[in-house]
Structure 1
């Protein structure tokens, strides 16, 4: 059975129920053959005390979109995905609106994956550049 793009996006967002992604209002909004995009609203909920986007919230968005990307491209009946390392370079502050994280594969191996994640604001300003390593591990029978 072949799933539509809308089916896969809906499945990702349904999987976010009762998780950190739901708490932060992270929503998958697009994907293609080699990328996945999610967005997160920038509100007081994800601010630092001085009113700008918290870097930890940005890293949570990046790890979420990267992990979902790895998850979509493996056989989830046989494997599960875990993030094993994330780096984030924060380049610009944001106080409101939405930020978008686009994960693309640098390496899509059977066991390990490496993703480049660019975080931008609504006017295409680069907010953060992240790298995520994930691992696909076999499910126990």
Structure 2
């Protein structure tokens, strides 16, 4: 995909910045904008011993999408740091992919909160997560 992000990056460039854990567990960003950040993750390779998607992997997907969304909100002069993640797991996933979409609940000058909905291939909700981040300006805007 070559869709541009709000910072002028392509989705490929955003994926290159997604981090080691996201890369290791197969998270792929598919859309990045101020309105939403979306991605997917394979279930196989991220299952717990009972062949179900591991809740921690789902939380990692949610935090990756929400954190990237917070960084987009912080812009080039700021940095975002997660301070709280809450996940409610609704149903199991056994194979295929799960898809996550982060949408802003509130984006302020110093705090931003996002809802991340993770669904299976049948569009059934697997998990609902909420991530809160602090936004710090690292460079004074000119």
- TM-score normalized with structure 1 length: 0.89
Cα gap change, 1:75/1:9 in structure 2, threshold over 3 Å: closer, same or farther?
same
| Cα distance in structure 1, aligned partners of 2:120 and 2:105 | 23
Structure 1 residue ranges without an equivalent (≥5): none
Query: Which residue of the partner structure matches residue 97 of structure 2?
Result: 98
- Contact 2:33 2:72 (C-alpha < 8 Å) held by counterparts: no
| Cα distance in structure 2, aligned partners of 1:27 and 1:125 | 20
The alignment status of 1:14 with 2:16, answered yes or no, reads: yes
Structure 2 residue ranges without an equivalent (≥5): none
RMSD of equivalent CA atoms = 1.9
Query: Which residue of the partner structure matches residue 54 of structure 1?
Result: 54
Paired residues in the alignment total 136
Matches within 5 A, 1:59-74: 59-74=59-74
Q: CA deviation at 1:140?
A: 6.9
Structure 1 stretches of 4+ with a deviation exceeding 6 A read none
- Contact 2:34 2:72 (C-alpha < 8 Å) held by counterparts: no
Q: CA deviation at 1:8?
A: 3.2
Query: Which residue of the partner structure matches residue 26 of structure 1?
Result: 27
- Contact 2:29 2:38 (C-alpha < 8 Å) held by counterparts: yes
Q: CA deviation at 1:33?
A: 4.2
- Contact 2:107 2:113 (C-alpha < 8 Å) held by counterparts: yes
Q: CA deviation at 1:138?
A: 2.8
- TM-score normalized with structure 2 length: 0.88
Q: CA deviation at 1:75?
A: 2.1
